[in-house]
Structure 1
Amino acid sequence: AAVRWLEAARHAFGSGALVEARGHATTALALATDSRVRVGARLLLVEMAGEDYSGIGPLLDAGFREAGSHPDLLARLQMHRAAKAYYDGDSETARAELKRAEAAAEQCRDTELLVEVLTWRGSMLVGAERDDFLERAGQRARGLPLTPGVVAARQASAMSPLFRGDVALAVERVTALRAEVERSGAVREIAATLVSVAGVFGRAGRCAEALEAARECARLFEDVMASPGPGLLVCAMAEFNGGSLARAADDVDRATAACQAAGDEGWIRHAYTTAGMIKLLQGDAHAAAERMRLAYVTAQQLGRIDPGQVLWLADYVEALVGSGAKTEARTVLAEVTGDAERLGRTVTFLSLARAGALVTAAFSRARDGAEALERAIEQWADHPYPLEVARAFYVLGGLERRAHRRGAARAAYQAALGRFTEARALPWGAAVTADLARLDGGRGGGLSETERRIVDLVRAGATNREIGRAMFLSVKAVEANLTRLYRRLNVRNRAQLARIVDEAE
Structure 2
Amino acid sequence: MTEPITLPAGGPAHPRPPAVARDALRDTVRAHLPRGGVLLTGPAGIGKTTVVAQVVADLAPRGHRVLHCSPSPAERDSAFLGLIDLLTGVGDDVLRALAAHERALLETTLLRSAQPWTTDPGGPAGGRDALVLRIAVRKVLAVLAAAGPLLLVVDDAQWLDRPTAEILRHVARRADAGLWVLVTLRTDAAGEDLGPAADRREGCAGAAELCPRPVHRLRVPPMTAHEVAELLERHDHPYWPRALTARLHQASGGNPRTALELSSALDDRVRGEGRELPDAAEPLPVPGSLRRPILARIGALPADARRTLVVAGAAVRPTVELLRRAGRQDAAADLDLCVRHGILDVLPEPGHGTIRFLDPLTPMVLRAETPYERLVAAHRALADASDDPVERAHHIARLAAGPDPAVAARLTAAASAARRRGAPGTAARLGRLAAQYTPPGQADADIARRLTAAEDAIEAADLDFARQLAHEVLGEARRPAERVRAWNVVIDSCGQAMAEIADVFPEAVHDAADDPGLLAQLHYRMSWREWMVGGSAARAHGHAVRAAHLAAGTGDRRTELMALTQQAALELFLGLPQAETTLAAALAAPHDAHAMTHHNGPLYLKHRFHLVHDELDEARAELRTLVYRLRQRGSADSLSHCLIGLAQVEIQRGRCRPALTIARQSLRIAEESALSQGPAWYAVSLAETAGGSLSQALTAAETARRHSEDDNDRLFLPRALHAEGRIRLFSGEYEQAAELLRRTAESETAQGQRDPATRRWHADLAEALAAVGAPREAGAVITLARHQAERLGRPGVLATLDRAAATVSAARGDLARSARQLEHAAVRLRAAGYPLEEARTQVTLGRVRRLLGDEAAARAAFAGALRIFTKAGARSWVSLTRAERDRVQDGSVCAPEGGSWAEHLTSTERSVVARVAQGASNREIAAGLVVSVKTVEAALTRAYRKLGAKSRVEIARMVMARPAG
- Same-fold call, TM cutoff 0.5: yes
1:240 Cα offset (Å): 0.7
Counterpart CA distance in 1 for 2:754 and 2:748 is 6
Counterpart CA distance in 1 for 2:792 and 2:711 is 32
Change in CA separation of 1:319 and 1:140 when aligned onto 2, cut-off 3 Å: farther
- Greater mean deviation of Cα atoms: 66-75 or 274-283: 66-75
Any residues of structure 2 matched to 1:159-178 within 5 Å, and which?
159-178=608-627
Please, which of 641, 664, 670 is the counterpart of residue 215 of structure 1? 664
* Mapped contact 2:757–2:797 kept (Cα < 8 A): yes
1:411 Cα offset (Å): 0.6
| Residue aligning to 1:25 | 470
| Residue aligning to 1:347 | 796
Counterpart CA distance in 2 for 1:37 and 1:14 is 19
| Residue aligning to 2:233 | none
Any residues of structure 2 matched to 1:141-156 within 5 Å, and which?
144-145=593-594, 149=598, 152-156=601-605
Any residues of structure 2 matched to 1:50-61 within 5 Å, and which?
50-61=495-506
| Residue aligning to 1:488 | none
Which letter does structure 1 place at the counterpart of 2:447?
A: A
| Residue aligning to 1:41 | 486
Counterpart CA distance in 2 for 1:154 and 1:243 is 30
* Mapped contact 2:599–2:641 kept (Cα < 8 A): no
Change in CA separation of 1:376 and 1:231 when aligned onto 2, cut-off 3 Å: closer
Residue by residue over 1:378-417, the C-alpha shift from the partner in whole angstroms, topping out at 9 and shown as x without a partner, is 3554222222222221211121122222111111111111
2:206 aligned with 1:206, yes or no?
Answer: no
| Residue aligning to 1:358 | 807
1:442 Cα offset (Å): 6.8
1:153 Cα offset (Å): 2.1
Which letter does structure 2 place at the counterpart of 1:237?
A: L
| Residue aligning to 2:564 | 118
* Mapped contact 1:383–1:389 kept (Cα < 8 A): no
Aligned-residue Cα RMSD (Å) equals 2.2
1:139 Cα offset (Å): 4.7
* Mapped contact 2:691–2:874 kept (Cα < 8 A): yes
2:716 aligned with 1:270, yes or no?
Answer: no
Change in CA separation of 1:334 and 1:438 when aligned onto 2, cut-off 3 Å: same
Counterpart CA distance in 1 for 2:856 and 2:591 is 53
2:737 aligned with 1:288, yes or no?
Answer: yes
2:450 aligned with 1:5, yes or no?
Answer: yes
1:108 Cα offset (Å): 2.1
Which letter does structure 2 place at the counterpart of 1:272?
A: L
Which letter does structure 2 place at the counterpart of 1:113?
A: T
| Residue aligning to 2:550 | 104
| Residue aligning to 1:62 | 507
Counterpart CA distance in 1 for 2:651 and 2:591 is 25
Change in CA separation of 1:300 and 1:101 when aligned onto 2, cut-off 3 Å: same
Change in CA separation of 1:253 and 1:328 when aligned onto 2, cut-off 3 Å: same
| Paired positions, count | 444
Counterpart CA distance in 1 for 2:589 and 2:624 is 18
- Indicate the SS of the match to 2:503: helix
| Residue aligning to 2:749 | 300
Counterpart CA distance in 2 for 1:432 and 1:142 is 50
* Mapped contact 2:599–2:638 kept (Cα < 8 A): no
- Greater mean deviation of Cα atoms: 284-293 or 303-312: 303-312
* Mapped contact 1:112–1:141 kept (Cα < 8 A): no
* Mapped contact 2:802–2:822 kept (Cα < 8 A): yes
1:58 Cα offset (Å): 2.8
2:233 aligned with 1:233, yes or no?
Answer: no
Change in CA separation of 1:131 and 1:287 when aligned onto 2, cut-off 3 Å: farther
1:146 Cα offset (Å): 5.7
| Residue aligning to 1:93 | 539
* Mapped contact 1:111–1:140 kept (Cα < 8 A): no
Counterpart CA distance in 2 for 1:215 and 1:74 is 38
1:277 Cα offset (Å): 0.5
2:881 aligned with 1:432, yes or no?
Answer: yes
1:231 Cα offset (Å): 0.5
Any residues of structure 2 matched to 1:61-80 within 5 Å, and which?
61-80=506-525
1:276 Cα offset (Å): 0.6
2:367 aligned with 1:367, yes or no?
Answer: no
1:140 Cα offset (Å): 4.8
- Indicate the SS of the match to 1:306: coil
* Mapped contact 1:146–1:181 kept (Cα < 8 A): no
Change in CA separation of 1:49 and 1:82 when aligned onto 2, cut-off 3 Å: same
- Greater mean deviation of Cα atoms: 83-92 or 263-272: 83-92
* Mapped contact 2:822–2:841 kept (Cα < 8 A): yes
* Mapped contact 2:561–2:601 kept (Cα < 8 A): no
Question: What is the identity percentage for the equivalent residue pairs of Structure 1 and Structure 2?
Answer: 28
- Indicate the SS of the match to 1:318: helix
Change in CA separation of 1:139 and 1:393 when aligned onto 2, cut-off 3 Å: farther
- Greater mean deviation of Cα atoms: 117-126 or 301-310: 301-310
Which letter does structure 2 place at the counterpart of 1:291?
A: L
Any residues of structure 2 matched to 1:303-342 within 5 Å, and which?
303-342=752-791
Change in CA separation of 1:148 and 1:41 when aligned onto 2, cut-off 3 Å: farther
Gaps of 5+ in 2: 1-445, 894-965
Counterpart CA distance in 1 for 2:747 and 2:600 is 29
Which letter does structure 1 place at the counterpart of 2:680?
A: G
Counterpart CA distance in 1 for 2:599 and 2:826 is 39
Change in CA separation of 1:281 and 1:380 when aligned onto 2, cut-off 3 Å: closer
| Residue aligning to 1:454 | none
Counterpart CA distance in 2 for 1:371 and 1:441 is 26
Residue by residue over 1:140-184, the C-alpha shift from the partner in whole angstroms, topping out at 9 and shown as x without a partner, is 586734666476321111121121011221121111111111111
> Normalising by structure 2, what TM-score?
0.44
Residue by residue over 1:267-290, the C-alpha shift from the partner in whole angstroms, topping out at 9 and shown as x without a partner, is 111111000111111121211111
Which letter does structure 1 place at the counterpart of 2:550?
A: A
Counterpart CA distance in 1 for 2:584 and 2:835 is 25
Which letter does structure 2 place at the counterpart of 1:10?
A: E
Any residues of structure 2 matched to 1:177-196 within 5 Å, and which?
177-196=626-645
Change in CA separation of 1:93 and 1:355 when aligned onto 2, cut-off 3 Å: closer
- Indicate the SS of the match to 1:370: helix
- Indicate the SS of the match to 1:382: helix
- Indicate the SS of the match to 2:499: coil
Counterpart CA distance in 2 for 1:240 and 1:35 is 49
* Mapped contact 1:307–1:336 kept (Cα < 8 A): yes
Residue by residue over 1:399-447, the C-alpha shift from the partner in whole angstroms, topping out at 9 and shown as x without a partner, is 1122222111111111111111122222222221222233334779xxx
Counterpart CA distance in 2 for 1:35 and 1:281 is 55
| Residue aligning to 1:486 | none
Counterpart CA distance in 1 for 2:841 and 2:868 is 11
Gaps of 5+ in 1: 445-505
2:692 aligned with 1:243, yes or no?
Answer: yes
- Indicate the SS of the match to 1:264: coil
Change in CA separation of 1:251 and 1:261 when aligned onto 2, cut-off 3 Å: same
1:355 Cα offset (Å): 0.5
* Mapped contact 1:115–1:149 kept (Cα < 8 A): no
Any residues of structure 2 matched to 1:332-481 within 5 Å, and which?
332-441=781-890
Counterpart CA distance in 2 for 1:140 and 1:390 is 43
* Mapped contact 2:524–2:544 kept (Cα < 8 A): yes
1:55 Cα offset (Å): 3.9
Counterpart CA distance in 1 for 2:599 and 2:634 is 15
